[in-house]
A and B are shown apart, each in its own frame.
Chain A
Amino acid sequence: MDYEIEAGDPLVIAGRRFGSRLLLGTGKFPSNNALSATIAASGCEIVTVALRRVDPTAEHDILDAIPDGVLLMTNTSGAVDADEAVRLARLARAAGLPTWIKVEVTPDPRYLLPDPVETLRASERLVADGFTVLPYCPADPVLCKHLAEAGCATVMPLGSWIGSNQGLRTKAALEIIVEQADIPVIVDAGLGAPSHAAEALEMGADAVLVNTAIGTAADPPAMGRAFRMGVEAGRAAYLAGLAASRRDASASSPLTGFLA
């Protein structure tokens, strides 16, 4: 069976078109080979790498696992405030990496929750500095409006805590974010199963970013393929128009009796 996404339905971010709606994080993989095989099996076209992991002097650097044609997006993982995030982004640019930046500002080491205030500050400064900015953020509809107004290319609200595999715990807020968005919404963090990814796409999210569930699976490439299928099923269902659950009828005194 052919699971290719229709060419007529690309994901467009900052004017660039992508055939895949699955973005991949590169942490927690058992090896560069596993990562490389997973990128191929998942069909993803954007991967994100923590700048702090990159070591151009190493013999087997993580960047070696990323094939040509796949967009490398540096993330600012480890930054605890806007200053650190901006510094990491500029280091990435100075190292010759693409200027697509996933802003991550997580001052809390336990749940790694994104700091809304510092994330917005970092995003504003990086947009002004010419970066294409994709911020990882809390599932807060008003914050997402601020990030859009700041010039971010997408918003990336969390489905649940990073690495928690709990799925769309923030679904009610995500629905509002999707409804209000005029830039792509990528659900990032907490997706533990392909069905979670399908659910995000079914509700109208433009894409998902997955790492832990794939990178720590017994067979990462196979799980990457499974997520790809989940994403494609969810998107196809969204485009097809899900049938709504039926509303219960409730008899009551007529509300249009005054017309009689």
Chain B
Amino acid sequence: MSVGATAVELTSRPASAAPGTAAADVNATDIAGLRRLVDSARPVDVDRALARAGRALGRQQRLEDMAALLSPPASERLEDLAAAAHALTLRRFGRTVHLFAPLYLSNECVSVCSYCGFSAGNEIARRTLDVREVEAEARCLVDRGFRHVLLVAGEHARIVSKDYLLRCVQAIAPVVPALSVEVQVWDTETYRRLVDAGCDGLVVYQEAYDRSTYAAVHLKGKKRNYEWRLAAPDRGAEAGMRRLGIGALLGLHADWRSEALAVGAHAHALMQRWWRAEVAVSLPRLRPAAGGYTPAVAVADRDFVQLLCALRLALGDVGIAVSTREPAWLRDGLVPLGVTLMSAGSHTEPGGYAEPSEAEPQFEISDDRSPEEVAAALRARGYDPVWKDWQRS
């Protein structure tokens, strides 16, 4: 049994990854070995990784290149990394950035996670939107220009139930052309029902890929089952989700480089196994949250830039999202280096757009510009803010 598994293993939520899944591929990847390559990388390894970025390469080559690009010798050549990442991004994605908005349904949660403002036990104002309120939020976002909405909720299987999620999706799918969910993980059948109701995308952050860290920060609740969560993107893809989002929270595990390598390994495995799906990654840097959490490690701006360049160069086709956790100046600077997805004007509390209340936000945002201000900043840099990129039939 893995470190992060629940004490009682349920057959409906097995604590092991099925063969043939991206989750199994991640488990079979020697992350520690790749991490050692970061420390042993020579300038010539950085040269090679830069030279063959964007070419069709095997999994091991890509992950070894990513390790080289995360290394100290690569750090000394950050401008070279940035130039190569920019060129590759331009070739693959053009001068475009997709905009989306999170729509928080509920901050109710039964899981105890040390880093999250919604964690059960935190004395915060709780709120769950009813379907009418969800519709009002969606219309508000559509009025602001958004056509891609991400539904977010805490983990509460009774209050944020499958049926509740289905009703929310059914209610707003007619007005929102692209709809994703970032909620507790479900089984394939539930994902299939969500897809049938009009949901096209699934976002599941593993939070921490390091198992002991995962076990240490997820103190109570179903979320303690590491493997069941790791395989959620596989289940979503099997159910027909067109977009898959994954990520890790930088700051949970003390070694951000090994977490970055694990995210790269997982993203690559998903792209290989589920070749019809678009895969995007995000590595938010944790900020202090309600409950008094402070991150285990602070990732410096320069390291964060190196990480994103390494991801882009190793995985030329992967989408990269940067949230409003990051400040405006950094988000703007990162756009040419490989960012393809941005949230804008975000509220991380339920009802924050149409009917603000005292409900607690999940985290504090740093970039508080309006959607139109973010779009204007993109245009000023010669980038096209893309609001709509999908229309379900």
Spell out A's residues near B (CB within 8 Å): 145, 175-176, 178-180, 182, 204, 243-247, 249-250, 252, 254-256, 258-259
| Shortest Cβ distance from residue A156 to the other chain B in the assembled complex, whole angstroms | 18
Contact of A256 among B55, B84, B275, B305 (CB under 8 A): B305
Kindly list the 10 A-B residue pairs having the minimum CB-CB distance in the complex, ordered from nearest: A258-B333, A255-B82, A244-B51, A175-B56, A179-B56, A244-B52, A247-B51, A256-B82, A244-B48, A176-B56
Quick one: which of A175, A247, A255 has the most chain B CB within 10 A?
Answer: A255
What is the predominant secondary structure among interface residues of chain B facing chain A?
helix
Say whether A204 contacts B78, CB under 8 Å.
no
Contact of B301 among A246, A249, A259 (CB under 8 A): A259
> Chain A contacts of B56 at CB under 8 A?
175-176, 178-179
Say whether A247 contacts B272, CB under 8 Å.
no
> Chain B contacts of A258 at CB under 8 A?
329-330, 332-333
Say whether A246 contacts B79, CB under 8 Å.
no
Say whether B47 contacts A246, CB under 8 Å.
yes
Least CB separation from B57: chain A residue: A179
Report Cα–Cα, A99/B92, bound state, in Å.
43
Given known pairs A244-B48, A258-B329, the reply for A252 and B83 (CB within 8 Å) is: yes
> Chain A contacts of B57 at CB under 8 A?
179
Given known pairs A244-B52, A255-B86, the reply for A179 and B58 (CB within 8 Å) is: yes
Contact with A along B54-82 (1 / 0, CB 8 A): 01111000000000000000000011101
| Shortest Cβ distance from residue A214 to the other chain B in the assembled complex, whole angstroms | 28
Contact with A along B75-111 (1 / 0, CB 8 A): 0001110111010000000000000000000000000
Report Cα–Cα, A247/B54, bound state, in Å.
12
Say whether A182 contacts B272, CB under 8 Å.
yes
- The reply to whether the CB of B37 lies closer than 8 angstroms to some CB of chain A is no
| Shortest Cβ distance from residue A198 to the other chain B in the assembled complex, whole angstroms | 18
**Between A and B, how many residue pairs show CB distances below 8 Å?**
48
Spell out B's residues near A (CB within 8 Å): 47-48, 50-52, 55-58, 78-80, 82-84, 86, 272, 275, 301-302, 305, 329-330, 332-333, 336-337
Least CB separation from B273: chain A residue: A182
Say whether B83 contacts A259, CB under 8 Å.
no
| Shortest Cβ distance from residue A203 to the other chain B in the assembled complex, whole angstroms | 8
> Chain A contacts of B84 at CB under 8 A?
247
Say whether A246 contacts B82, CB under 8 Å.
no
Contact of B336 among A179, A243, A255, A259 (CB under 8 A): A255
Given known pairs A176-B56, A204-B58, A244-B48, the reply for A256 and B78 (CB within 8 Å) is: yes
Report Cα–Cα, A111/B329, bound state, in Å.
58
Report Cα–Cα, A175/B78, bound state, in Å.
29
Least CB separation from A177: chain B residue: B56
Say whether A255 contacts B337, CB under 8 Å.
yes
In the assembled complex, 27 residue pairs joining A and B whose CB atoms fall closer than 8 Å, in A order, are A145-B275, A175-B55, A178-B58, A180-B272, A204-B58, A243-B48, A244-B47, A244-B48, A244-B51, A245-B51, A247-B50, A247-B84, A249-B80, A254-B79, A255-B82, A255-B83, A255-B86, A255-B336, A256-B78, A256-B333, A258-B329, A258-B330, A258-B332, A258-B333, A259-B302, A259-B305, A259-B333
Say whether B329 contacts A255, CB under 8 Å.
no
Contact of B79 among A178, A182, A245, A256 (CB under 8 A): A256
Report Cα–Cα, A246/B51, bound state, in Å.
6
| Shortest Cβ distance from residue A11 to the other chain B in the assembled complex, whole angstroms | 16
| Shortest Cβ distance from residue A222 to the other chain B in the assembled complex, whole angstroms | 34
Least CB separation from A174: chain B residue: B56
Report Cα–Cα, A224/B318, bound state, in Å.
43
> Chain A contacts of B48 at CB under 8 A?
243-244
> Chain A contacts of B329 at CB under 8 A?
258
| Shortest Cβ distance from residue B29 to the other chain A in the assembled complex, whole angstroms | 15
Quick one: which of B56, B82, B330 has the most chain A CB within 10 A?
Answer: B56
> Chain B contacts of A247 at CB under 8 A?
50-51, 84
Least CB separation from A248: chain B residue: B51
> Chain A contacts of B55 at CB under 8 A?
175
| Shortest Cβ distance from residue A246 to the other chain B in the assembled complex, whole angstroms | 6
Say whether A255 contacts B79, CB under 8 Å.
yes
Report Cα–Cα, A255/B51, bound state, in Å.
18
Least CB separation from A176: chain B residue: B56
Least CB separation from A245: chain B residue: B51
Least CB separation from A179: chain B residue: B56
| Shortest Cβ distance from residue A136 to the other chain B in the assembled complex, whole angstroms | 22
| Shortest Cβ distance from residue B36 to the other chain A in the assembled complex, whole angstroms | 17
| Shortest Cβ distance from residue B201 to the other chain A in the assembled complex, whole angstroms | 21
| Shortest Cβ distance from residue B327 to the other chain A in the assembled complex, whole angstroms | 11
Least CB separation from A255: chain B residue: B82
